[in-house]
Amino acid sequence: MKLAIAKEVEAGERRVALVPDAVARLVKQGVEVWVQAGAGAKSFFSDLAYEEVGAKIIADTGMLWGEADVVVKIGALQETEVYQLREGGVFIGFLNPLANPALVQRLADRRVTAFSMEMIPRTSRAQSMDALSSQANVAGYKAVLIAAAALPKYFPMLTTAAGTIRPAKVLVMGAGVAGLQAIATARRLGAVVEAFDIRPDTKEQVQSLGAKFVDVELKEETVATGGYAKELSEAAKEHTRQVLTQHISTADAVITTARVPGKKAPVLVTREMVSQMKPGSVIVDLAADQGGNCECTEAGKEVEWNGVNVIGTINLPSSMPVHASETYSKNILALLQLMVKDKELNLNFEDDIIAGACVARNGEITNQGVRDALTAQTSAVI
């Protein structure tokens, strides 16, 4: 089996899908690993480091994409790359399939067997393959560092000869993987942290990290299948905003991480709420790529709104490419252990992880949610 590690081409993407340590394991198992020349350079893994563990460096992009049995990536798959994939080949990577079902259709049209890392089931057995979590951890950590660097104040409480400094107040909205990591990081920096999520389970998790949970009593079901959040009704969204207004107005830094799979991010912080914040405060919006949790957010930009600095981050994991690549690499390696037998590709669709992550096969979209998303997009266009 020939496995290819593609060089990421998206602007600002610095990660690589497999690092040399993981390649060494695959080579030992008899997999032939091809690395696109320079694929690891931006995450500080040289071509030489890959060669030393037995990989082949391939400069010819057409050959790498067109002849490999399996191609792995971490950054978004580009339209042009779809057509470079060999018909009948296998692709593994982030495909954002619920937001971009048309791309999955094109993969199906090329009879590619496509695995989406977003669709790996969130089960205990699949924990080592959970790339959403490995990358969200990086994003949550980095978001707090960005907020701390942008805030014109200390995060911790300090008692100095020049007086006592009060700790910064941080509000984290959305307590999934990124939010919990943000809480832990802000606590480590000494801030006083409050957090909020619509899923009731998160209350205990927030409190166990030493943060105060902001209780917003919601009188509707907030959890969907798979443990993800449901989109709230307009009335519940309004109620949430009312309860949160006071907490937002007293916060020095607000980190927003709220997402609903396949939907636009919920607006949790309106312009009016931002206007009530103290000048010099900071908002770091991790949902900027899905429309943003703050109405003032501009994706990929830092904007000032009444003296409040609103930072719309994009692809934060890429800003810490060494650990982001190493952890993603472990996720991919764990998944490949289910896919490779006796040096050959052996896809067992009876396995819930293989079946769950597969979004296209035999010319068809195999995931009902992705099929529904495609139908919804197509009817919206008509």
Annotated catalytic residue within 36, 86, 116, 130: 130
Single out the residue of 75, 89, 101, 174 in contact with ligand NAD (rule: CB under 6 A): 174
Per CB under 6 A, does 172 bind ligand NAD?
Answer: no
Per CB under 6 A, does 348 bind ligand NAD?
Answer: no
Answer for the pair 151, 163: CB distance below 8 angstroms, yes or no: no
Per CB under 6 A, does 96 bind ligand NAD?
Answer: no
CB of 223 to ligand NAD, least distance (A): 7
Torsion sign (Cα): 340, 116, 200, 138: positive
Annotated catalytic residue within 128, 228, 372, 377: 228
Per CB under 6 A, does 247 bind ligand NAD?
Answer: no
* Choice between 309 and 331, CB closer to ligand NAD: 331
CB of 304 to ligand NAD, least distance (A): 25
Select the residue whose beta carbon is closest to ligand NAD and give its number: 176
* Choice between 191 and 255, CB closer to ligand NAD: 255
* Choice between 112 and 316, CB closer to ligand NAD: 316
CA angle 213, 282, 270 (to 5 degrees): 70
CB of 125 to ligand NAD, least distance (A): 9
Per CB under 6 A, does 232 bind ligand NAD?
Answer: yes
Using DSSP's 3-state secondary structure scheme, residue 187 falls into helix
CB of 16 to ligand NAD, least distance (A): 23
Annotated catalytic residue within 122, 187, 188, 371: 122
Distance CA 169, CA 190 (A): 10
Distances (CA, A) of 28 to 37, 80, 326, 336, 377: 21, 33, 19, 13, 45
- Sheet containing strand 212-213, edge to edge, reads 212-213, 192-196, 169-173, 253-256, 282-285, 308-312, 302-305
Q: Which residues pair with 164 in a beta bridge?
A: 159
Active site residue 122: yes
Per CB under 6 A, does 294 bind ligand NAD?
Answer: no
- H-type alpha helices, the chain: 20-28, 47-52, 61-67, 79-82, 101-109, 131-150, 177-188, 202-208, 234-250, 271-275, 321-339, 352-357, 368-381
- Among 32-40, 52-60, 191-199, 302-310, which window interacts with ligand NAD (CB under 6 A)? 191-199
Per CB under 6 A, does 136 bind ligand NAD?
Answer: yes
User: How much is the CA Rg of the chain, to the nearest whole Å?
Assistant: 22
Q: Which residues pair with 3 in a beta bridge?
A: 33, 70
Distances (CA, A) of 179 to 57, 174, 285: 39, 6, 11
Per CB under 6 A, does 260 bind ligand NAD?
Answer: yes
Single out the residue of 12, 30, 210, 227 in contact with ligand NAD (rule: CB under 6 A): 227
- Strands 70-72 and 2-5 come out as parallel
Per CB under 6 A, does 259 bind ligand NAD?
Answer: yes
The residues that touch ligand NAD, with contacts defined as CB under 6 A, are 122, 127, 130, 132-133, 136, 173-179, 196-199, 202, 227-229, 232, 257-261, 266, 268
**Which residues are catalytically annotated?**
122, 127, 130, 133, 228
